Structures are given as structure tokens and as C-alpha cells.
Amino acid sequence: MELKEKIRNRQARIGIIGLGYVGLPLAVEFAKAGFEVTGFDVDVAKVSSIKKGHSYIGDVSSEDVSTAVKGGKLSATDDMSKLHDMDAIDICVPTPLRKTGDPDLSYVILAVDAVRARLKPEQLVILESTTYPGTTDEVVQPALEEGGLKAGKDFYLAFSPERVDPGNQTYTTRSIPKVVGGINDVSTELAAELYGSIISTIVPVSSTQVAEMVKLLENTFRAVNIGLVNEIALMSHRMNIDVWEVIEAAATKPFGFMPFYPGPGIGGHCIGIDPIYLAWKLRLNGYEARFIHLADDINRSMPAHVVMLVGEALNERQRAISGSRILALGVSYKRGVGDTRESPALEVIELLRGKGAEVSYADPYVPSIVVGDTTLKAVELTERELSTADCVVILTDHPQFDYRLVVETAPLVVDTRHATASVTAPAGRVVLL
């Protein structure tokens, strides 16, 4: 097969649509492997940055981008007409939720429309964007076939769920096993061949729907278990039990238990969204995903619980939230990254401001945020900022924060991440989630 030989000989030209947390690392890995890669994105700032050899993704170094660009292996453009020149096209665009809670496939549809207009025989098209089971077969395939070419015969189509974990230095694009499911055997074979050139372990499955369901199971597993441990945290608070000590002790069991940890809520583009895609699809089939909805309700209640903890802690010091100076530490959805998508920290800040608090924040990765109709700029984490705050709320446990300084300087700390565990604090100064 000509396309397989092109892939094996590194002569296949690869197009990546969407140059975010998934697309850019993938593009750089293909370029490192010797492929000629073109990144496509409607964001001209991203295109410009890549052309200059600069990375805007923490997990991808500017050195790697610059080397790939200078070596002629990586280019970027917003000109979708160049998709016609590609042998393989990987779609890595966002799949958010609408305000109604329904899946928003608009970015996928725009990308597929762009591919369809330039589709040619022998092209391989792979969707990586997380979505509900059936999307590849029911949405992508019919749209691509509108031009007359038939999937599985004239061109090849597969789904391969992204498994990116931003900020994780141990498991990267190259080392995370890649699940691949095509609409037929030859599509699966070609997609596996392509990814096998840059990823150590390939896991072929029998269909696109199985591959789509794999990603939803992974993130539903996480969402449900986070919801469970968040509820355990709520129960423990009612009974005046240290939930962190409970988890630490339970984790000593060498079988039958996997520790998950509570927090101010869930965020990012996956855990809080992907299970809702699955629940939506199931509802169309007459089934209510009760675990998913319950976990989602609990996880979404956590920002309000954090605000309640702040109010209780201030109350004990004869202060109200209204008029208090509150310093939030961390606004990204997880430690070590600057991604604020769906971050519960933003909701906590908005709730505190709604109760009359004067809120500032520190985050080494996020220079500014928009809360409501107000733009806040990050402050430096200094002794003055800490000592003049009535309460410091740790919402994201970035490794750059000096937690000893925080505990020793701030008059009151509400720690939602157990970040101060290794620091000895004066009695009553630190309140844990």
C-alpha cells in the first residue's frame, strides 16, 4: 500500500488541525521522527509563534519547535487550502459544552468541512478530539463522503483519543500508549502505522466507537472517584474528621483501593466535560447515567463549600467575608500549568467577590484573569501580600509557592489541596478542606 510505505519511509506529509495542548506536542513529535508536518490553526498568534520558533505550551520547549522549524520539518499556517497536500490529517480541536450542557461539535464540524473541501484519494483522516461514541461514524464520515469519496475505500478514517496530561513530565506524548480504532481494518492499520512511528505502544481496537468510549471511560472513572472523595470530604467536615489523614491511612492497603484526593472542584478540558458527553449520548438512547450526574453535582458544589470554609474561618476571628482582603493562591485548574479552562478557582474567586470580599491572586503561570466583567492581574507572593491578607486560600498547589512562608506569614490559611502538609503551623492558623 502506497500510503503505508510513505509512512514507513517518513515521506508522508502530515497535517495537524488545532495547535493547542494536544496538537502542538503531536506535531513536534512527528517532526522529530523525520516527517514533514504542517500545523493548521485559525489563531494567527499561534501560527506566528511557531513560525518564529517559539512554544506557547509548557510541555513543548521552544528549542524543539525552533529546531523543527529551522530544519524544515515543521511549519504552521491558517490557510486550510494546504490540507490538499497532506497524506495524513489529524484533527485536534476543542470539544466544549454549550451553556445548555449539550456537546458543542462546532470546532470539529468546521475542521471536517475544511478537510472535505480538499479531500483526495488515499488520505488518512484521524479525529483525536474527545467526543461521544458514534461521532466519527455518524458525523465525520458522512460529512467527508459528501464529496463522493468513500471512507475505507477511497480514503481512510479513524479515531484515536488524546491522552495528554499537561505538566506531566513522566508520561508524555511519546510514552503514553495510543488507542486506535478505524472504520475498517485498513483504516486501523494505517492509523496504527502512523502513530507507531512516534509512540512506543499502540493499542488497536475493533471500531471507532470503542476508541471513543475508551476515553470517556477513563475520564468518567476519574470524575466519579473525585466526586466520591469530595463527598467523603464533605462528610468528614460534618463529623470534624481530617479527610486527608483518612485517605493517607486508607492508601496503605496494598489492594482494592486507589487514592483520589478532594479539592475545590474539577477543571480542565476533560474530566468535567467528557462524562457529560457520554451522559448526553446515553440520554438519547433512553438511559440516565446516574453516577455521572451525581458526581458532577458533587464536584460542582465544591467551590461553594470552599467559600463556606472561608466564611467559617473568618467568623471565628470575628470577621465577615464582606470587606475582608483575601489572597487566592493559584487559579489554573491543576498544579504546574497555566490552563484556566473550567478552573474551579475562578468560581471561588467570583463567589467571594459576590459576597463583598476584596480578592487578589498569585499564580506564576497566569498573568491575568477575567472574573465577571473585571480583569485581575496577578500579584507577587510576598510577605507584605501575605501579612496584609485577612485570609489566604490555596486553590492550586503550584510547586513554586513557598508554603512555609505562607503559613508563617499569613494570619489565616484555607488549604484546599493539602499543600501545607509538610509545614508545621501554629494552632488554628491553617484550615484544611
Residue 242: count of CB within 10 angstroms of its CB: 12
* φ, ψ of residue 62 in degrees (nearest 5): -65, -30
Is residue 189 exposed (0-12), middle (13-18) or buried (19+ Cβ within 10 Å)?
middle
- Which domains are assigned to the chain? 2-206 (3.40.50.720), 222-432 (3.40.50.720)
Q: Which residue is listed with cell 459528501?
A: 146
Can you tell me the distance from the alpha carbon of 381 to that of 406, in angstroms, rounded to the nearest whole number?
9
108 grid coordinates: 470539529
Q: Give the pairing type, strands 88-91 and 74-77.
A: unpaired
d(CA 275, CA 117) in angstroms, rounded, equals: 32
Q: Which residues are catalytic?
A: 270
> What is the rounded distance in angstroms from the CA atom of residue 71 to the CA atom of residue 33?
12
**Is 76 in a helix, a strand, or coil?**
strand
**CB of 55 within 8 A of CB of 61?**
yes
CA-CA-CA-CA dihedral for 223, 224, 225, 229, to nearest 10: 100
Beta pairing partners, 16: 39, 90
pLDDT of residue 306: 98
Please give the chain's pLDDT, 433 residues, in tens.
799 999 999 999 999 999 999 999 999 999 999 999 999 999 999 999 999 999 999 889 999 999 999 999 999 999 999 999 999 999 999 999 888 888 999 999 999 999 999 999 999 999 999 999 999 999 999 999 998 999 999 999 999 999 988 888 888 899 999 999 999 999 999 999 999 999 999 999 999 999 999 999 999 999 999 999 999 999 999 999 999 999 999 999 999 999 999 999 999 888 888 999 999 999 999 999 999 999 999 999 999 999 999 999 999 999 999 999 999 999 999 999 999 999 999 999 999 999 999 999 999 999 999 998 899 999 999 999 999 999 999 999 999 999 999 999 999 999 999 999 988 877 778 999 9
Q: Does the CA dihedral 342-23-158-199 come out positive or negative?
A: negative
The four Cα atoms 403, 405, 406, 412 give a dihedral, to 10 degrees, of: 130
What pLDDT, on a 0 to 100 scale, did the predictor assign at position 170? 87
CA-closest candidate to residue 27, choices 84, 103, 86: 86
Report the C-alpha gap between 413 and 326 in whole angstroms: 10
Nearest to 281 by CA among 209, 225, 182: 209
Residue 213 CB neighbour total at 10 angstroms: 20
349 neighbors 368 (Cβ within 8 angstroms):
no
